[in-house]
Structures are given as C-alpha cells and as structure tokens.
Amino acid sequence: MLTRRRTLLGLAALPLGAWAPACSQSDRRPTPAASSNTDHLPAATSSADAAKVRWAGLLAAREKLRPLHTRAGKPQPGEWRYEHTETGQTFEEYVRGRPTVPTADRRAIVVQPIGPFDEAQHKVLELTTDYMSRYFGLPTRREEALPLTLIPASAKRVHPTWGDKQVLSQWVLDEMLPSRLPKDAAALIAFTTSDLWPGKGWNFVFGQADLRARVGLWSVYRYGDPSKGDAAFKLTLRRALKVAVHETGHMFSLEHCTAYRCVQAGINSLEEEDRAPLWACPECATKIVWATSADHLPRYEKLRAFCETAGLQEEAAFFAKSLDVLRTDP
C-alpha cells in the first residue's frame, strides 16, 4: 500500500509479473450522501446569489451532456472495477466533500520535465502541456528539464527480470518535487521518459501523485515510440493526455469515476486505458469547471480545437457534439 498515494497502471512483483491494483486509494475520505439542498454547499463565488445562479447553470449543463455519454456497464475480468469496489462520486458529493481546488494565489499547473526527451517525445510533452491548460482552464507552463543525475543511485535500479533501468517514483515525489513546488502552483506534475517503480513489491507504474503535497509524476516509457509514424505518435499522445489529466484530476480531489466511460475511471492495464475515452463524463466535467471557476462552452471549444489540430478526429467530433447540446435551449 502506498500511503496517501494514487498509483496508476501498476504491475506488482509479488510474485513478479502478477497483476496488482492500478490505483491505491488510502487517502480516500468518506463522502456524505448527495442532497438536493444546496444551501450548505460551499459557494464558488463571493456572492450567494451569483453562486446559486452558477450552481443551477452547472446542473442544467450536466443534464444536457448526460445523453452523450456511455454508462460504464458491467466490469469484465481484468478490468479495474472487476477487482476493486468503489462507490464513485457525484458532482454534489464532490462539492460537499470540501475538495482541494485552485485558489486565487495558487492557480497554475506547472509541468516539470525530468531527463532527456527526443524530438517526438518533446512534441508529446508540448502538446500535453497545451491540452492540460485547456482541460482545466488554468494557466499551465513548462519548466526547464531537470537532469537524471539529480536522482541518486539509491533511487534507481535495473529491473531484476526485465533489465529495464528504472527510477523510484516515491523518491521523486518525496525528495525532488516538494521543494520545487512554485508558490503559484495548484499542482506540480513531473513528466519523464524514464521507467518508474514505486518501491518494494512492484514491477512498474505509469503515474503516481501525492494528493496532499500537490505533486505528481508520470512516464511515457511504456506508451510506445512516437517517432514511428503518425499512428504511433497519436497513440502515444492519447495515452499521455489521458494519464496527465487523470492524475491532475486526483490532485484536485476527483475520485475514480464508476458511472460512465470516463477519463477519470480507474485503469488496470494499458489495454483498458486504450479503450477509455479522452473526455470526462458529465459528473467529472462539472466538477472540473466548478473547481476551476471555468465555463463549459469555452472549455469544450478549446478542447475541440486542440483535437482537430492534433488529428484526434474522434475526440474533436465528441467535443463538437458537446458544444451543440450545450447551445440548445432548455
């Protein structure tokens, strides 16, 4: 168990090669039951009247978006929900749970590269940074890359069976990132091409985040080679975008989605991740715009434009449909 951590897409090593939980949830807090009474909900603005109007608008938008989304359905063997019992989290439950959200002084998402990137990997990094700014509606910037030489030998290993060189993700979260968390950062997300493992008993992980410290880390080491043509680049890009917004969503207190096919759903394998959509469901999308004081229409327009430019046609079409339904009369 990784204390106060969420670990995405992991493989355990007890014994080596056995599947393990992809996302530990030891920091999960009890969530009160949902209520239609909004009087006790924390206001997103200083004006109570404006907050009530915004709240009503968010609920109306959620209902417009709902028909576009596919319910999660019965989990199949090997999938996350087949192996893990989670209750999910509605928008109302999210707000009543007093989530960690950006503040006036801490609104930036900061991306911290670690180690070398080739040209194609660097392009994935650039596009991921851009997408995160559109997805969360927050200023997002990329820092200069930190060298792998900053990581001591005690936080590196060669996998005993596969021979992959790996970096200890817990060391990065505990020792490397907290002191580099900028004062204006709502979240600091490290991005690396190195393989990761979180500690004893694990083979590898793709991503890991510390909810309390507002730092996270993810790797594209196992996401394919984006330099091997257009299809390979788009596959790596989609995977990177999904893990980036998923992990950052956790840092803003979003629990795993259990109701819909959603980017915030738990993932147990790379195959399951490839089946997952890039978009958030109506519950999770509403959480995001409430938490970041954003609006659905400009958010979806920016996401549509990104996907169209990046050649992600399925996603561009979905965001265009979302815009169409939001623009219809009640």
Mind listing the pLDDT tens digit of every residue in the chain (330 residues)?
333 344 443 332 223 333 333 343 333 333 333 333 444 445 444 568 888 999 999 999 999 999 999 999 998 998 889 888 898 999 999 999 999 899 999 999 999 999 999 999 999 999 999 999 999 999 999 999 999 999 999 999 999 999 999 999 999 999 999 999 999 999 999 999 999 999 988 898 888 888 778 899 999 999 999 999 999 999 999 999 999 999 899 889 999 999 999 999 998 889 999 999 999 999 999 999 999 999 999 999 999 999 999 999 999 999 999 999 999 987
Whether 41 is in a domain gets the answer no
pLDDT of residue 207: 85
pLDDT of amino acid 220: 93
The three-state DSSP-derived secondary structure of the chain is CCCCEEEECCEEECCEEEECCCCCCCCCCCCCCCCCCCCCCCCCCCCHHHHHHHHHHHHHHHHHHHHHCCECCCCCCCCHHHHCCCCCCCHHHHHHCCCCCCCCCCCEEEEEEECCCCHHHHHHHHHHHHHHHHHHCCCEEECCCECHHHCCHHHEEECCCCCCEEEEHHHHHHHHCHHHCCCCEEEEEEEECCEEECCCCEEEECEEEECCCCEEEEECCCCCCCCCCHHHHHHHHHHHHHHHHHHHHHHCCCCCECCECCCCECCCCHHHHHHCCCCCCHHHHHHHHHHCCCCHHHHHHHHHHHHHHHCCHHHHHHHHHHHHHHCCCC
**182, HSE (Cβ side, Cα atoms, 13 Å):** 19
Structural domain contains residue 38: no
- 17 found inside a domain: yes
- 215-254 per-position pLDDT tens digit: 999 999 999 999 999 999 999 999 999 999 998 998 899 9
Output the pLDDT for position 309.
98
247 among known catalytic residues = yes
Distance of CA 99 to the CA centre of its chain: 15
Nearest to 43 by CA among 35, 53, 33: 53
For residue 195, the domain's CATH number is: 3.40.390.10
C-alpha 244/C-alpha 116 separation (Å) is 19
Question: In terms of Cα–Cα distance, which of 147, 135, 131 is closest to 192?
Answer: 147
Tokens of 66: 């709902």
Distance, CA of 156 to CA of 43 (rounded, Å): 46
In a domain, 36, yes or no: no
Structural domain includes residue 39:
no
Please provide residue 197's backbone torsions phi and psi, each rounded to the nearest 5 degrees: -145, 140
> Residue 24: inside a domain, yes or no?
yes
Q: Which of 87, 105, 76 is nearest to 31 (CA)?
A: 87
- Residue 37 placed within a domain: no
The pLDDT of residue 320 is 98
Residue 167 lies in a domain: yes
List Cβ neighbours of 202 (8 Å cut-off, separation of 6 or more).
Answer: 10, 11, 12, 13, 20
- Let me know if 153 is exposed, middle or buried by CB neighbors in 10 A (0-12, 13-18, 19+): exposed
Give residue 194's domain range: 5-29+46-326
> Rounded distance, CA 241 to CA 311, Å?
14
For 290, counting Cβ atoms within 10 Å of its Cβ (0-12 exposed, 13-18 middle, 19+ buried), the class is buried
> Domain tally for the chain?
1
| Structure-block tokens of residue 303 | 């996401």
Of the residues 247, 255, 273, 315, only one is catalytic, namely 247
Please give the pLDDT value at position 36.
Answer: 39
**pLDDT at residue 46, as a whole number:** 56
Q: What is the pTM of this model?
A: 0.85
